Structure 1
Amino acid sequence: MDLPRPRRYLLINPNTNHLTTQRLQDVLLPLLPQGLQLDVRTARFGAQYIACEASHAVAAHACLDAWAAQRSASSDALDGVLIGCFGDPGLFALREASACPVTGLAEASFIQAASHGPFAIVTGGERWKPMLHRLAGSLGFGPQLRHIETVAPTGAALQADPDMALACLRQACQSAAQSGVSSIILGGAGLAGYARLLQAHCDLPLIDSAQAGWDVLHGQLAPKAPTERDGFYAPWVGLPQAFISMSTWM
């Protein structure tokens, strides 16, 4: 009698910072049921911490690169892919290429937050504000996103100084709570785990973007393209062999 195939998921950190990958693992691994496997990849190139339009654009390429390398290295099917960045770089492209559900920390957080009503985001780095408004609109959550509260330190700086992060984020959550929303997202891979620490200081539900990512993906609520097999549609020139080998749709 054949045993059922173990469920297998892929977590991609599009930042090149391995400490961020470790933080995501520390938060997500305790949530995994026994017997479920989580493969983890960190971007080979790009920014240490995505903080602007340019680093976000490069991270989309790095995210596709990590996925293609993993799929080329293993014949085991994936049950889901989680993009471990609150800007979800490469989300639409990866969803097109993958035969399994794909989501990112932002989309998953929007899904959870919208179930409570209008929501706010607290995150690090002023440049994220227009980027997140655009992403929310493209995913259909523009009307529900009522407020974005950014703190001056970037996500990388917050991750490096937990005491400073707690003080900054507590004040930001209290300010965001005054915007007439029903929940607040703590957005960012570097902020994984902080919602639990700050919940006692805020009357509204705080949503951890990393935990939301896993909840939505494992619950199979993440949308996916109607394709039966992995692969890129376009042929490639000058990219690593993993991209070439995954150009299977032509």
Structure 2
Amino acid sequence: MRKLLVINPNTSASVSALLQTHVQAAAGLHVQVRTVTARFGAPYISDEASYAVAAHATLDTWAAALAGVDEAPDAVLIGCFGDPGLLALRESSPVPVTGLAEAAFTEAARHGRFAIVTGGERWGPMLQRLAQALGHAPSLAGIHTVAPTGAQLAADPAAARTLLTQACRDAVRQLGAQAVILGGAGLAGMAAALQPGVSVPLIDSVLAGAHWALRSHAPPSRRSKPGFDVPWDKLSPELTALGLQP
């Protein structure tokens, strides 16, 4: 049986539960999905500071998840639409690593130019920067953020559906998008409910992440085992154990 490790870079157990449910459903019974939650950081990642801390938390959570485990996962999925720590974890892991945003960008780009709809106004420039770094800027028609955060949207699904449906329609009309990504771990499962009201394909970032991770088509890693190329000072025991020893 294949094993998929899902890392929730925030400290919200409810988000981890949502990820576990939707990723396992997408993966099927032939894959064992294990979702782990950050040991420190913000309950919800919504600005540059919480994003920076989440990158550290992603690495720490990964190292803790590997400690004492007999079998390593076959792939790792960062369960945040923003992929904090993605490139660092990919550099350090012997198995393929992706995040919700990268996977959704890849899937949406198959339809042509795409837009992003997500919660939290500060995510706009952060996602623009990520798309540029991952080479998807030419395909990105634009980013439409709504004021409530993903956590607030998940807490009121009925109001969220109304708000997000209109945001997706606006993205199609105003930006000329040929696909729209509904981004955010807290919005898992909503794209299917909104799709009848939107004229272009809606991409669920959580399902996109699960499908990409399971295909595991990332370039081969140069590593045969997990590790870092520097020694660590005053970090968690699990991170320290994977660093170079003095």
TM bucket, shorter chain: over 0.9
8 Å contact 1:95–1:224 — kept in the other structure?
A: no
Map 1:1-250 onto structure 2 (within 5 A).
6-178=1-173, 179-223=175-219, 225-247=221-243
* Rounded Cα–Cα distance in structure 1 between residues aligned with 2:186 and 2:73: 25
* Rounded Cα–Cα distance in structure 2 between residues aligned with 1:119 and 1:28: 23
* Rounded Cα–Cα distance in structure 2 between residues aligned with 1:116 and 1:187: 17
Question: 5+ unaligned residues in a row in structure 2: which ranges?
Answer: none
* Rounded Cα–Cα distance in structure 1 between residues aligned with 2:202 and 2:214: 20
* Rounded Cα–Cα distance in structure 2 between residues aligned with 1:201 and 1:8: 36
Q: 1:59 to 1:214 in 2, by over 3 A?
A: same
TM-score (norm 2): 0.96
Paired-residue identity, %:
52
* Rounded Cα–Cα distance in structure 1 between residues aligned with 2:23 and 2:230: 34
- AA aligned opposite 1:193: G
- Of stretches 136-145 and 25-34 in structure 1, the one that deviates more from structure 2 is 25-34
SS at match of 1:41: strand
After TM superposition, give the deviation of residue 208 of structure 1 in Å. Answer: 0.1
Q: 1:165 to 1:224 in 2, by over 3 A?
A: farther
After TM superposition, give the deviation of residue 189 of structure 1 in Å. Answer: 0.5
SS at match of 2:145: strand
8 Å contact 1:63–1:89 — kept in the other structure?
A: yes
* Rounded Cα–Cα distance in structure 2 between residues aligned with 1:187 and 1:223: 25
- AA aligned opposite 1:141: H
- Of stretches 166-175 and 72-81 in structure 1, the one that deviates more from structure 2 is 72-81
* Rounded Cα–Cα distance in structure 2 between residues aligned with 1:74 and 1:7: 15
1:3 match: none
TM-score (norm 1): 0.95
Q: CA RMSD in A?
A: 1.3
